Structure 1
Amino acid sequence: MELSADVSHSRPRDAFDDHKPPKKRSRDPFAGLNQTEARVPPLPSKGQKLERKWSMGERRSAPARKRSTEPFKALKMQRALAAVPYGQRSQIKDQISEMESFEEFELLPEVQQAIADALPGLENVSPTPAQRVAIPELLGMKGKRVRRRNPVEKKEMEQFLLAAETGSGKTLAYLLPVIDAIKRAEAIQLKEEAVKLAAKEAADAERRKANLFELESPPLSKDHNPNSGRPRAIVLVPTAELVAQVGAIAKSLSHLCKFKAAPISASNTATVIRNRLFNPKGVDIVISTPFLLGSIVESNPNILSRVSHLVIDEADSLLDRSFSPITSSIVDRATPSLKQLILCSATIPRGLDTYLQKRFPDIKRLVTPNLHAIPRRVQLGVVDVNKEPYRGNKNLACADTIWTIGRSAAEHSAEGKEKIDMKRIIVFVNEREKAVEVADYLVSKGIDAIALNRDTASERASHILASFKGLAKDEEPPVPSPEAVKAAKTNYFPVGSTSTRKLVNTKVIVTTDLGSRGIDTCAVRHVVLYDVPHTTIDFIHRLGRTGRMGRRGRGIVLVGRGDRTDVVKEVREGMFKGQALI
């Protein structure tokens, strides 16, 4: 084999070569045979990086990605929460560490005594971090020495944002200062009326002395109470269930404090709403939803003429697109008489943060040290739906998980040592239609499950919640038979089968995030996340439904195909480290 004489010489260039596209390097394994030089890159000297020159026949691989050392990368990609610096968290933690009892707050004696009625069955009650942060500021306390503001002389409206994790006692944190302010204003008003009455009696006595023979007119019938339908404080909540929950707490406080609370919602009849709001004895606190109160204000604007305290609970919901117009109109109409505006929320979404910066730039933010963090007492488990025996069937995995939870209580009750432990579980889904589908499947597997969403009628929702919260007084808890306990040990259901067994010791509600607002979840120890939440806000709200008021809880995530496993992994790491999910 002989090579050509000009094999090492390149072809002469012509005028058309400048317009031709550059010739691509061939990936053929024999593309480098006609090379006359080895083209081996030199060795790098000390302190210099290796600059690799690629040969014609070598395939260039993609450069290695730099591994990020910054934690929670996946969560920051979908971050929707306003950040709170850790330096500020530490400072708040040091400030509230010295407050160990409610007696350190400058509350009226009757308000102090009413706390025991609001928290029955608890001894040596100590305030939660949310209450330690909020109550002193709302009362105007400065350190341990109190300098109280006069609610009558104060003209400027104070604005507060109370942001604390779910289950931290925010309701009591804003109710106690509001009730204290109402009772103090009432005492001042009684003194003023006593002075006016004494002056009037003195004037009448002088008039009678001057006109001894003048006949006195008979006393008139008692006039209608001018405070009827004119409350001093209003609490706005998004759902009728929350109206009943906050109203029950306010009623427990009113036994000793002697104030009138009126919880009104769409679940009440028109007669009940009228009797509570326009009570002849007057009303002090009205708890309602924005749409109902807004419709009443349209026909009776005088309702907001005496409001000194306005509380917007669940502000992240009441100030979003659906509630914001009606909530803002109520705030605007009540502003002339307002002394305090209190916003409460379990999270500070970026949308709420932007709204507050525009509408209330001077608002004072009261945050807890563990804001946007899931407590360590709540554990998070993960079930891989793609593995055996589920093979991608989430409904099957959900039923199997619930039977596993209920089985432990059934086995314990078979020994006969204690009564059966009733398990209450909340299953969270992302779509309202999915709630009905999952609940029907769980019922077919012998589980007492009911779907609850925003489309559920008010009366039916109240009945569902009453059944979920506890048994009737005259109802004995069911005790499973030994055969049922034995059958519950094998909790695997083949796909498409219908179970004849019943899980009698478990109650399940399948709901969405908004549907769960207002559910009294102190007895809930387990939540099942059927769908992986879209954002960290949903993670905090869903896992916050368990482990409330210092109790332990457990959340279980069902991870299937297409779910964000990286987000679930980082949430578990953040919960283990006790860090905020921002």
Structure 2
Amino acid sequence: MTFESLGLKKELLKAIEEKGYTTPSPIQEKAIPVILKGNDVLASAQTGTGKTAGFTLPILQIITDTKNPKFRPIRALILTPTRELAAQIYDNVRDYSKRVNIKSTVIFGGVKPKKQIAAIRNGVDVLVATPGRLLDLHDQKALSLKRVDILILDEADRMLDMGFVRDIKKIIALLPNQRQNLLFSATFSKEIKKLAQGILTNPSLVEAAPENTTAEMVTQKIYRVPKSRKAAMVIELISKGNWDQVLIFTRTKHGANRLAEKLQKKDISSAAIHGNKSQSARTKALKGFKENSIRVLVATDIAARGLDIPLLPHVINYELPNIPEDYVHRIGRTGRAGASGEAISLVSREELEYVKSIEKLLQQKLKIVELEGFDLTPTEQSQQNRSSTKKPKSSQSNKPKRNFGRKKKSNDTKENNPKSTKNRRNNNKRRFKKGPRKDNG
């Protein structure tokens, strides 16, 4: 199968060639012909398999074939959950549309809207947007969605996880009833299927890989290590392995900042990227990481999707996510486009339950390895083994009761028990010392 056999225009084929691609990926092979026919699509593919090109190429061809050169309303709307993913998709749209007369732009929060509004007013065929900023600009009457022919929801499951379902419904209400709808997601859930039923009309189901699978080229390892020694292990792995490009995931923003600071103190250039960082700081950190001026990027799950780093060799889960699907998205940053990669997870005693959930989702056991100098002590080993094989406490109800149901008080000793022989004699002595009863008559 070739891109040419999929029915794409020569201008797009030239752009694909310049990107260095020669053979379509499974998701591209299955999705592109269906989209070109004008069908609604419900597509599932593991991260890093070329989903973006799978919908970008056909919509560019559709718009090119039906474009009015004098009038440029928004014809295709691509909704995505994060700023980084929006920027990445826009880069793809721009690269693939170099040889066709298509204008595109991207809008997202965290930056002033003035330039975004100016770009839209100059005419835009393809708009890439995050839901919040799109609704903000619509409320300001800076854009109209009345002429949208194609709606694309990318990473739809992540949008639901981030609470965008209401915004999505508001946006859909602003669109024409007659349109083509494409819903792309790395995973399918009940919520996704419910959303799809309300948007898609007789959709073609496209699946390029089993749900929640991880890239075959990714080697997965687990290091069992106490929480207090994780930072030291990360430093050891990076320094001794002489790793140049490492993406590390933490569960919290403060955790990302702390780890980046510890790495800097060990002369390992690093930067943190998370929701509290300004958009300019996030863009600068990502740019430095891609250009190898920053050796380590420490991120929260905001970066689990939307980061496209070519040939990224190493991903480290400093802390495991509590949602097993997020593990799939995190390690999907490596092993992309047929390249090999390594995903390492540092697992403390408290995280063993997360490992079980991930293994259940993946339907495979994760390999446990040891790092010299970081072996668990016998006490730590015993604690982790107990955590992984916890048993309910045995019941005391079958033990014989020697006190015939009477609860014996903890201070009911021979010395202070009023019924003991010694205390009974003392009580009798005190009774006789009281003297005769007074006659109150």
| Secondary structure of residue in 1 paired with 2:364 | helix
* Deviation of the 1:363 alpha carbon: 3.7
Partner residue of 2:346? 558
Closer, same or farther in 2 for the Cα pair 1:571/1:321, shift >3 Å? closer
CA distance in 1, matches of 2:78, 2:348: 41
Closer, same or farther in 2 for the Cα pair 1:267/1:533, shift >3 Å? closer
CA RMSD of aligned residues (A): 2.6
CA distance in 2, matches of 1:283, 1:343: 22
The counterpart of 2:96, out of the listed 253, 257, 261, is 253
| Secondary structure of residue in 1 paired with 2:350 | coil
CA distance in 1, matches of 2:313, 2:172: 38
Do 1:380 and 1:555's aligned partners in 2 also have CA atoms closer than 8 Å? yes
The counterpart of 1:264, out of the listed 79, 91, 107, is 107
* One-letter amino acid of the counterpart of residue 349, structure 1: S
CA distance in 2, matches of 1:359, 1:233: 16
* Deviation of the 1:267 alpha carbon: 5.1
Partner residue of 1:325? 166
* Deviation of the 1:576 alpha carbon: 8.2
- Is residue 2:284 matched to residue 1:468? no
TM-score scaled to structure 1, two decimals?
Answer: 0.58
* Deviation of the 1:572 alpha carbon: 8.2
- Is residue 2:195 matched to residue 1:355? yes
The counterpart of 2:240, out of the listed 382, 404, 415, is 404
Do 1:429 and 1:530's aligned partners in 2 also have CA atoms closer than 8 Å? yes
Partner residue of 2:418? none
Partner residue of 2:396? none
| Secondary structure of residue in 2 paired with 1:287 | strand
Structure 2 unmatched runs, 5+ = 368-441
| Secondary structure of residue in 2 paired with 1:161 | strand
Closer, same or farther in 2 for the Cα pair 1:572/1:310, shift >3 Å? closer
CA distance in 2, matches of 1:403, 1:349: 40
The counterpart of 2:12, out of the listed 111, 123, 140, is 111
Partner residue of 1:544? 332
Closer, same or farther in 2 for the Cα pair 1:573/1:518, shift >3 Å? closer
CA distance in 2, matches of 1:433, 1:335: 44
Closer, same or farther in 2 for the Cα pair 1:276/1:268, shift >3 Å? farther
TM-score scaled to structure 2, two decimals?
Answer: 0.76
- Is residue 2:335 matched to residue 1:335? no
CA distance in 2, matches of 1:571, 1:233: 35
Aligned residues: 365
* Deviation of the 1:358 alpha carbon: 5.6
Question: Which is bigger in relative contact order (C-alpha 8 A, separation at least 6)?
Answer: 1
Do 1:250 and 1:261's aligned partners in 2 also have CA atoms closer than 8 Å? yes
Partner residue of 1:521? 309
Closer, same or farther in 2 for the Cα pair 1:131/1:465, shift >3 Å? same
| Secondary structure of residue in 2 paired with 1:380 | strand
Aligned-residue identity in percent: 27
What does 1:274-353 align with in structure 2 at a 5 Å threshold?
274-279=117-122, 282-300=123-141, 303-320=144-161, 322-336=163-177, 338-353=178-193
After superposition, give the CA deviation of every residue in 1:368-396 in whole Å (9 maximum; x if it has no partner).
1344211221111221214xxxx852222
* Deviation of the 1:452 alpha carbon: 1.0
| Secondary structure of residue in 1 paired with 2:90 | helix
After superposition, give the CA deviation of every residue in 1:556-576 in whole Å (9 maximum; x if it has no partner).
111111222545666787278
| Secondary structure of residue in 1 paired with 2:342 | strand
CA distance in 1, matches of 2:267, 2:190: 43
Greater Rg over alpha carbons, structure:
1
* Deviation of the 1:537 alpha carbon: 0.4
Partner residue of 2:49? 168
* One-letter amino acid of the counterpart of residue 35, structure 2: L
Partner residue of 1:395? 231
After superposition, give the CA deviation of every residue in 1:210-233 in whole Å (9 maximum; x if it has no partner).
xxxxxxxxxxxxxxx653xx2111
What does 1:471-482 align with in structure 2 at a 5 Å threshold?
471=292
